[in-house]
Amino acid sequence: MTAKRICIVLTTRGNLAKMESTLTAITAHQDLALQVVIGGALLDPSFGDRVDGKIFRIDERLNYTTDDKTLRGIAESAGRCTIEMSRVLAKLKPDILIVIADRFEALAIAQAAVCQNVIIAHLEGGEVSGSIDEPIRHAISKLANLHFPANEEAAERLRRMGEHAGNIHVVGTPSLDLLHDININDKEALTKALEIQGRGPRLDLEQRYIVVSQHPVATEYLKLTQQIEETLQAVKNIALPAVWILPNDEAGSPEFARRIGRLNEDKSYPPVRYLSNLTFADYAVLVRHACCLIGNTSSGIRESAFLGVPVVNIGSRQNGRMRGTNVVDVDFNAKAIVTAARQQAAKQRYPRDTLYGDGHSGKKIALVLAQHKPVLGKTIAY
């Protein structure tokens, strides 16, 4: 029997971390043949050593991003992504394409697959959140033939959207798999990464510090300056050293990076070490030992719950997502952020929460891909 060709497109550092266990499980399965496409931020040379050859062979590259990081520029990047993905699919001819989550390019990738009769498996559909991620996620779910939601609540939403129950498989979040395989207390690699890749004052990771990770919210584009200023003021008032993870490639991210890069010019500001890239293992160690994670990243909802890390989630980007008891929600208000952060930091740790999986998602996904026979055509199930 010919092995099924399974194509996965990776476009961000989060994609890479999320899919590593799945890539490994597909490679190990005798009935599956892995195809890997990288694009977006992962074409940045700073990612090369981590991507090329270390984990898997790269079959194609997807060059679609423009230098324009406005809303129009992101829309144009999405258009270019559809065109480029059409070329890639015509060349690789996969049996199944895995589309990850809800970024703007994910919908463009799915659109190219639908037009070329390629079966789509969608990871993390059925969830609820804010920003443009919300409609994009549901649009991809309606294009998909096979679904890998993270939990039962998300699976139930997919059923209510008219997706056939037999095509829905609850597998958890694959990024949690990696947390089983790393020494969460080993700070040596993290210290080296911060030294090499970070900018700003050096931090002593044995002392109290916070982690900040805030992304622009596309549906609140006109408020981006106000929102980042509230967070900047809050971090100043918290008065603890900080490691700030710069945002992904999205509308408004250059402005965020510019303001964060100027922080250390203010001598009254606490020391901030900032960078755009960490391996998942280094990031997990960083967050695990922080007093608190502040921002609007989904890692505050998923991985941080599994690690028991106190989180202050700001604004609407994660609205409606299931969260553990480790998360406190606030608006973009410096005073509210500071109050919540101090309360969270005082709690130190929360119990592990398996709301988003038990750490064995990659093997579950590979097994379904090998055994399931999704049908190309689809209709609403009710």
CA dihedral over 160, 164, 165, 167, signed as positive or negative: negative
CA dihedral over 269, 273, 276, 280, signed as positive or negative: negative
Provide the token pair at 115: 């037009």
Q: In Å, how far are 24, 145, 198, 218, 249 from 19, measured between CA atoms?
A: 9, 19, 25, 25, 19
Range of the domain at 114: 4-179+359-371
Give the pLDDT mean for 119-128: 97
Residue 314's identity, in one-letter code, is I
Residue 67 located in a structural domain: yes
Do residue 83 and residue 166 come from a single domain? yes
Do residue 150 and residue 267 come from a single domain? no
| pLDDT of 258 higher than 90 | no
The pTM score is 0.86
- Separation between Cα atoms, residue 348 and residue 225, nearest integer Å: 31
Question: Which has the higher per-residue pLDDT, 53 or 342?
Answer: 342
Backbone angles phi, psi at 122, to 5 degrees: -110, 125
> ∠ CA 129-136-46 to the nearest 5 degrees?
90
Give the pLDDT mean for 123-136: 93
Do residue 167 and residue 200 come from a single domain? no
Give the pLDDT mean for 332-345: 97
| pLDDT of 200 higher than 70 | yes
Question: Which has the higher per-residue pLDDT, 59 or 55?
Answer: 59
Closest CA to 121 of 376, 361, 380, 302: 376
Residue 377 located in a structural domain: no
| pLDDT of 377 higher than 90 | no
CATH number where 196 lies: 3.40.50.2000
